[in-house]
Structure 1
Amino acid sequence: MTQPDVPADLPEPVLTDNARVVLAKRYLRKDAEGNPMEDFRGMFLRVAGTVAAEEAKYENSPYTVEDLTREFYLLMTSGRFLPNSPTLMNAGTDLGQLAACFVLPVEDSMDGIFDAVKHAAMIHKSGGGTGFSFSRLRHEGARVGSTGGVASGPVSFMKIFNTATEQVKQGGTRRGANMGILRVDHPDILKFIECKSSEGTELNNFNISVALTERFMQAVENDEEYELIAPHTGAVKDTLRARDVFTRLVRKAWESGDPGIVFLDRVNRDNPTPEQGEIESTNPCGEQPLLPYEACNLGSVNLAALYDAEADDGIDWEELRRVVRLSVRFLDDVIDASRYPLSEIDEKVRRNRKIGLGVMGWADLLFRLGVPYDSREALRLADKVMEAVQAESKAASKELAQERGPFPAYDSSSYAQINLGPYRNATTTTIAPTGTLSIIASCSSGIEPLFALAFSRNVMDGERLVEVNPYFEDALRRAEAHSRSLMEDVAKKGTIHAMEHLPEDIRRVFVTSHDISPEMHLKMQAAFQKHTDNAVSKTVNLPSDATEEDIHHIYTLAYELGCKGVTVYRDGSLSGQVLCTGEPGEVEKPKLGEASRVMQRPEMVYGFTRKVRTGLGELYLTINEVDGKPFEVFATIGKSGHSIMAKAEAVGRLVSLALRSGIGVEEIVKQLEGIGGEYTVFAKKRLLKSIPDAVAYVLRQRYMDDMNAGNDSGLGKPGCPECGDTLVFEEGCHLCRSCGYTKCG
């Protein structure tokens, strides 16, 4: 691929240093040696030109290809709109797969199951994420007629999907992501709810959600039993008390964040093409319900870029209309430009032509307007903004239908039944995760509040830079309250909620996710859902001391408010803690020579989990820290009850006891390093001889080497597996705001 010609009058993209790092690492095209083959301007022109070229097919288009290329380029480089990552990565390349979201059917046969595994691998290789419903698979113990044997059930097959995902690197950039869904009336529902209880192991490439039905929710409310239906026969297999199942679901979400929930009947009521079947699953983050073999390409409008200080309410509504209409045209052209990995997907996508235009920069817009996220005014504005986005996207789709014709399935769609349209696209709006896109556009993610007003990140050779939200920093300067020490303090705590020395109006406006009540999180999600065709990606972040009753209330309220699903995350609920704000409790430290005085475990500790390949299998080593120093170690390998797991657990317990007794890392590493075993492997140019040797290897890398290699860097910061910086959990996914790594694609 050659660098495209760039007209001299096209401006350079407006990019922060962090955006440049992310683009260079993940989006610029590279040669076989990893050297960039394009610059930032060339990348955006490649995408704009490839997508705009599709206009040549349509005689009634009001644009020339050249003019539209310019419009698309300016739309993206101004930060007003960005498409999903596969479009930025693959437009104008040999791969040419531009969609992010796919759903594949999993049929109740060996051929059907392994066809789905193969097809998922093809999608992951092309840069997409996949969703599956495993609800068609017969339950564990059910008879298999062809062999006379018994079925192993959905969860066992999910492990096969997970292993396949682990082996496929998406487009050379990241591993695939999956959503696994099971109906609440499937006989294996209790096993499914518990299937991710073992952290970081057999289903680490899956998000999971339980599909709740109206019948089930009514049974919960009325304290009734409900029926479990064998999917291969339709017969009633058993009954369960609905409240018991709901309580089990809540408990697991409290423990780890999984499973989430999706209200399946509500999703299907909004299915615009019901004659093509029921919607069974969503994409990995839950915001895009799709029919089997459907795909959807997504994009987001940056609301913060539409702030207008001269407007009465601070928003340039005319520019919003222009940006939305141009973005809809862009996304419709992407359908034509994309090369899908399966013929079944190509046919389904072009039949329904679904697109998902959403928003990002919502929290930043509220900052600029001086409106607190957790206020009635913010909810009113959310309703007004998304209503405008929905109305303009539908108007744009109607215009495209006049130019190009409606989506082929329009005549049998729900729109035709009530004389709406015709539309070019079966759906037009989705609020998707915008993790890396928001870094490129230098704005807040999706409709989430900020996780932290300031955070520190690696820049080079171990140096760390405090990055502050620009609107927060500007407000402090105007109030003459800004200082470097304050910024460092905010970066440490993330929030200014308790900083009473700051002006009250600043503390009221600049709230973060943990400052906001769960009810307000949900009300904001519901306000945007009201005007969104598909669904809304949002996480209800909870403090570590949140109770199971709190999550029970959240799930019930999500149902009452009309949400299509919900994801919760309780701070500290995983041993591989993502990003936490606040400081660990004070711990009494032993005096020198008092190793027998074992430090007591504080109520809250934070840490990271590191995967290390050993000759005996994958070792998952969790290290929790206090004051940036290792405090306890958990080593997991193989299955509980096996001798190798017992040995790993013993090593972890003894290392933890040594650390809590005041023995230094250097002495522990000295004792463990080099212990031999019967199987050795090479890892990161180092021979690992045994489990103790692997533990020493991680401890040395993290705490002793001058330059940390691999996954971790910087004491006390739970790690991004690529750059070692902190991860945040928002929009249903883990994200590194330093390098753009995201677990969900």
Structure 2
Amino acid sequence: MPVKEKKVVPQTYTQEQAFQASLNYFKGDDLAARVWVNKYALKDSDGHVYEKTPDDMHKRIAKEVARIEKKYPNPMTEDEVFDLIKNFKYIVPQGSPMAGIGNPFQVGSLSNCFVIGNDGNSDSYGGIMKIDQEQVQLMKRRGGVGHDLSHIRPKGSGVKNSALTSTGLVPFMERYSNSTREVAQDGRRGALMLSVSINHPDAEDFIDAKMEQGKVTGANVSVRIDDKFMTAVKNDTPYTQTYPIFSDNPKFSKEIQANTLWKKIVHNAWKSAEPGILFWDTVINESVPDCYADLGYKTVSTNPCGEIPLCPYDSCRLLAINLFSYVEEPFTAKAHFNYELFKKHINAAQRIMDDIIDLELEKIDKILEKINADPENEDVKAVERNLWLNIRKKAGEGRRTGIGITAEGDMLAGLGITYGSKEGIDFSVDIHKRIALATYRASVETAKERGAFGIFDAEREKNNPFILRLKEADEELYYDMLEHGRRNIALLTIAPTGTTSLMTQTSSGIEPVFLPVYKRRRKVNPNDKNSRVDFVDEVGDSWEEYVVFHQRFKEWMKINGHDTDKKYEQVELDKLIKISPYYKATSNDVDWMSKVKMQGAVQKWIDHSISVTINLPNDASEELVGKLYLEAWEAGCKGVTVYRDGSRSGVLISNEEKKTEDEDNTGDSNFPTKRPQTLTADVVRFQNNKDKWIAFIGLVDGRPYEVFTGMADDEDGILIPRWVNEGLIIKNRNEDGSSRYDFQYGNKRGYKTTIEGLSHKFNPEFWNYAKLISSTLRHGMDIDKIVDLINSLQLDSESINTWKNGVVRALKRYVADGTIANKEKCSSCSSSNLIYQEGCLTCKDCGSSKCG
């Protein structure tokens, strides 16, 4: 009898086993260990963990990259790839590639970001809805998405339907934002960038949209600003907006004062950190892919963080070079940069990036197979299938890559150079110039072995400023590129590296170190005689405070003979920082104008863009924000974002014009206490354990006014179609004169369905508490304070506590981004420095996020 082959069952681990093993891997850095286990360790939908430490992940990635390498001449071996990526030391695939390469449990993309759009800039309802569906389809595959709204006709324009006139941009901003909020990506929401040209007549409405509470909370927004507008700002002259934008024969145009709109942009950015700015003429003029604009590579928007400008249906995968690892003998008088090893590794990194494109094409084929096998009607599947066919074409034809960096701040500190100084800027520019030349050289060498990207045409690129810069710096590279072509249409970026930098244990991206030393708290048992209680919070929990050193600051301490285990007093810590290379080189120390100039100088050697935020203190003036924006334009930046500390907490006012700066903002005197008969309403579904719940949130001007919450599918609950996410709550009277609240929704054919008596559909105990909460809502109490109030309720029964948690989850959706959480602690680092971002609590100290 033949011997039956024994099936190999993969080893699995519990979350705790993986965490403990990873904690040892990261030498006690619990934050790095937690981030890796939660976000990147291979796991299935049942919660089984298949990787114990990042070594297992890196072996998975190395095996897949080596498999692709074997298709081409002179392949790298699996061991060679592993040595480059292990320990997060040199080359670090970011985000989606790290999680997705070799992952058999998810049918997803390896691309970090996408841009979508319509051919011919259609602003028909069909075209607008198509973009909405494509956005959702991409987000469910883990991608961040950007798209531009400049093609949508302005408010009041004539349309040939029952509406007669267009509603303008803002309702569609809300639609796309709400779609983003609906899509979960392994515990996090999708990411969306919405952009519009300053030339669009509705640009001011776009700029103001996020200033109103509860609106457009699921998207970042940026304004595409052209040089003509900026010149009008400098010269204080008028500017003409047109639709279609920049049309020689517009259907609509209006003249505005450029400075008036500019001040609005500056004010809103000062107040709420948005909108961001994209200097669009710089983006387009410098863009290498735009040399192929007529072949479908016209850049129209950016990814959510702004570092990758893209054409419709193109995508990009990201990889970071850990700059600190090339500093030999760091923090000593002998410190120097290993340029030879650096250049060698950049060549390998670009090869790996090109391999990842092949892996992405395989992933897209798997997505298409799943779409084809799904039981839905062919008409339903058509949009999703065509979306991925378009993405596959762009990825295979242009082969765009995203080589970036992390640890710029630590690299400079390791060399004894102050971040933001002239020496620091000059050194950084030199490093990025070297990266550009080495990466383009690697792409040419790869083209010799594997062929150039499908539409390469040197003639088209001959006048591109970036290509001419390469020619001036390295003529041999340029003429080699003319002869052999280039493997990739564009190659370079500088992305934010939040979780990546936690695992490299370095400063993030191009940014300076946030803080070299900070404090965390851990909860302790006060009955433990060996515990030390430093702090008792408002609910009576006891905490021990302990000092955390930035890993590279800790390395500086060890090299320079300072005890890292000693319990330092604050005065001693201040003295340590003062003699370290991190002194006057943190996020809050660096001169803002220097940072802008550095970004502009580095941008000359980045063919995509740079994601960077200028952090300002709370007392920074609007005038300073305006100066920084002007400096960024003149310095050659492609985009810029400003964040003034604490700025977003001021966005909650619904009707800002009716309040003065000196008024008490704890309530809204304009919020009606007498209930209107009819309210618009959001329908929010959520799950507690295995129970399905539903919430109806009545709204006034987009702000919660009343809440009805209960079970969605039991005998005493309520059941409505899954596609219903909004409707009306109408106050009516019963025959005995008592009040009742009915919910009404319409279907796609215009028929309306009314469900009578929301207040009687749920457990009466729920309704009593709902009346209490609705009363606080309609008297204008801030949503975050109501969330605190509900959380503090001491309730006995399990069902009412479950209900309470559901109400909190529903209401958190309406807390404005940037609002400070008063009574919460970070589960990762125990910090109290938490803010709401898209309904999720986000720690400003460690970056971890938790959605209710």
TM-score normalised by length of structure 1: 0.78
Larger Rg, first or second structure (1 or 2): 2
Aligned-pair distance for 1:655?
11
Instruction: Indicate yes or no: 2:307 matched with 1:287.
Output: yes
Aligned-pair distance for 1:53?
1.4
- The correspondence for 2:701, drawn from 613, 630, 639, is 639
Q: Distance in 2 between matches of 1:723 and 1:463?
A: 26
Is the Cα contact below 8 Å between 1:84 and 1:99 reproduced in 2?
no
Aligned to 1:88: 98
Deviation per CA, 1:259-285, whole angstroms, max 9, x where unpaired?
A: 010011111112223333531100000
**What value does the CA root-mean-square deviation take over the aligned residues?**
4.1
Aligned-pair distance for 1:332?
0.6
Aligned to 2:400: 354
Deviation per CA, 1:481-529, whole angstroms, max 9, x where unpaired?
A: 9785547679xxxxx8xx4x55754377452111112101112212321
Q: Distance in 2 between matches of 1:481 and 1:68?
A: 40
Aligned to 2:554: 473
Aligned to 1:247: 263
Q: 1:70 to 1:460 in 2, by over 3 A?
A: farther
* Matches for 1:213-292 after TM superposition, within 5 Å: 213-231=226-244, 234-272=250-288, 273-275=292-294, 276-292=296-312
Aligned-pair distance for 1:15?
3.1
Q: Distance in 1 between matches of 2:102 and 2:810?
A: 47
Aligned to 1:408: 454
Q: Distance in 2 between matches of 1:537 and 1:742?
A: 25
> Any gaps of 5 or more consecutive residues in structure 2?
1-7, 13-21, 368-387, 469-477, 525-542, 652-661, 666-679, 685-696, 707-773, 816-820
SS of the aligned residue for 2:265 comes to helix
Deviation per CA, 1:616-669, whole angstroms, max 9, x where unpaired?
A: 8699xxxxxxxxxxxxxxx9965268865884263637998x9xxxxxx9xx88
Is the Cα contact below 8 Å between 1:28 and 1:37 reproduced in 2?
yes
For 1:282, the aligned partner's letter is T
Aligned to 1:79: 89
For 2:589, the aligned partner's letter is D
Instruction: Indicate yes or no: 2:356 matched with 1:337.
Output: no
Is the Cα contact below 8 Å between 1:439 and 1:740 reproduced in 2?
no
Q: 1:23 to 1:655 in 2, by over 3 A?
A: closer
Deviation per CA, 1:466-490, whole angstroms, max 9, x where unpaired?
A: 3211333344563759785547679
Aligned to 1:328: 350
Deviation per CA, 1:16-64, whole angstroms, max 9, x where unpaired?
A: 4332221111111223331212222221111121222112322xx2125
Instruction: Indicate yes or no: 2:484 matched with 1:367.
Output: no
Instruction: Indicate yes or no: 2:309 matched with 1:299.
Output: no
Is the Cα contact below 8 Å between 2:241 and 2:255 reproduced in 1?
yes
Further displaced range: 249-258 or 156-165: 156-165
Q: Distance in 1 between matches of 2:809 and 2:103?
A: 43
Is the Cα contact below 8 Å between 2:698 and 2:705 reproduced in 1?
no
Is the Cα contact below 8 Å between 1:356 and 1:430 reproduced in 2?
yes
Q: 1:687 to 1:293 in 2, by over 3 A?
A: closer
Aligned-pair distance for 1:169?
1.0
Q: 1:146 to 1:690 in 2, by over 3 A?
A: closer
Q: Distance in 2 between matches of 1:403 and 1:573?
A: 52
- The correspondence for 2:338, drawn from 316, 324, 328, is 316
Aligned to 1:155: 170
Instruction: Indicate yes or no: 2:45 matched with 1:29.
Output: no
Further displaced range: 516-525 or 559-568: 516-525
Q: Distance in 1 between matches of 2:250 and 2:569?
A: 61
Is the Cα contact below 8 Å between 1:636 and 1:649 reproduced in 2?
no
- The correspondence for 2:56, drawn from 42, 57, 64, is 42
Q: Distance in 2 between matches of 1:254 and 1:520?
A: 19
SS of the aligned residue for 1:122 comes to helix
Aligned-pair distance for 1:427?
1.0
Aligned to 1:126: 141
Aligned-pair distance for 1:137?
0.7
Deviation per CA, 1:509-563, whole angstroms, max 9, x where unpaired?
A: 4521111121011122123212111111111000000001000000000011010
Q: 1:691 to 1:193 in 2, by over 3 A?
A: closer
Q: 1:20 to 1:723 in 2, by over 3 A?
A: farther
Instruction: Indicate yes or no: 2:781 matched with 1:652.
Output: yes
Is the Cα contact below 8 Å between 2:505 and 2:551 reproduced in 1?
no
Aligned to 2:114: 102
Deviation per CA, 1:93-112, whole angstroms, max 9, x where unpaired?
A: 24251110110115311221
- The correspondence for 2:191, drawn from 163, 168, 177, is 177
Aligned to 2:585: 511
Q: Distance in 2 between matches of 1:638 and 1:334?
A: 49
Aligned-pair distance for 1:204?
1.7
Deviation per CA, 1:694-713, whole angstroms, max 9, x where unpaired?
A: 99xxxxx975xxxx799899
Is the Cα contact below 8 Å between 1:713 and 1:723 reproduced in 2?
no
Further displaced range: 267-276 or 476-485: 476-485
Aligned-pair distance for 1:143?
1.0
Q: 1:742 to 1:237 in 2, by over 3 A?
A: farther
- The correspondence for 1:454, drawn from 514, 517, 521, is 517
Is the Cα contact below 8 Å between 1:325 and 1:392 reproduced in 2?
yes
Further displaced range: 141-150 or 312-321: 141-150
* Matches for 1:198-213 after TM superposition, within 5 Å: 198-199=212-213, 201-213=214-226
Percent identical: 28
Q: Distance in 1 between matches of 2:114 and 2:424?
A: 33
Is the Cα contact below 8 Å between 2:577 and 2:583 reproduced in 1?
no
Q: 1:523 to 1:646 in 2, by over 3 A?
A: farther
Deviation per CA, 1:222-259, whole angstroms, max 9, x where unpaired?
A: 21111111128733421111111111100000001000
Is the Cα contact below 8 Å between 2:681 and 2:698 reproduced in 1?
no
SS of the aligned residue for 2:781 comes to helix
TM-score normalised by length of structure 2: 0.68
Aligned to 1:624: none
Aligned to 2:843: 726
Aligned-pair distance for 1:355?
0.6
Is the Cα contact below 8 Å between 2:516 and 2:553 reproduced in 1?
yes
Further displaced range: 414-423 or 278-287: 414-423
Is the Cα contact below 8 Å between 1:618 and 1:637 reproduced in 2?
no
Aligned to 2:209: 195
Aligned to 2:383: none
Is the Cα contact below 8 Å between 1:296 and 1:355 reproduced in 2?
yes
Aligned-pair distance for 1:148?
6.2
Aligned to 1:15: 26
Q: Distance in 2 between matches of 1:148 and 1:470?
A: 60
Aligned to 2:501: 438
Is the Cα contact below 8 Å between 2:323 and 2:407 reproduced in 1?
yes
Is the Cα contact below 8 Å between 1:165 and 1:177 reproduced in 2?
yes
Q: 1:4 to 1:71 in 2, by over 3 A?
A: farther
Instruction: Indicate yes or no: 2:172 matched with 1:56.
Output: no
- The correspondence for 2:622, drawn from 527, 538, 548, is 548
Is the Cα contact below 8 Å between 2:187 and 2:851 reproduced in 1?
no
Instruction: Indicate yes or no: 2:439 matched with 1:393.
Output: yes
Aligned-pair distance for 1:116?
1.1
Aligned to 1:112: 127
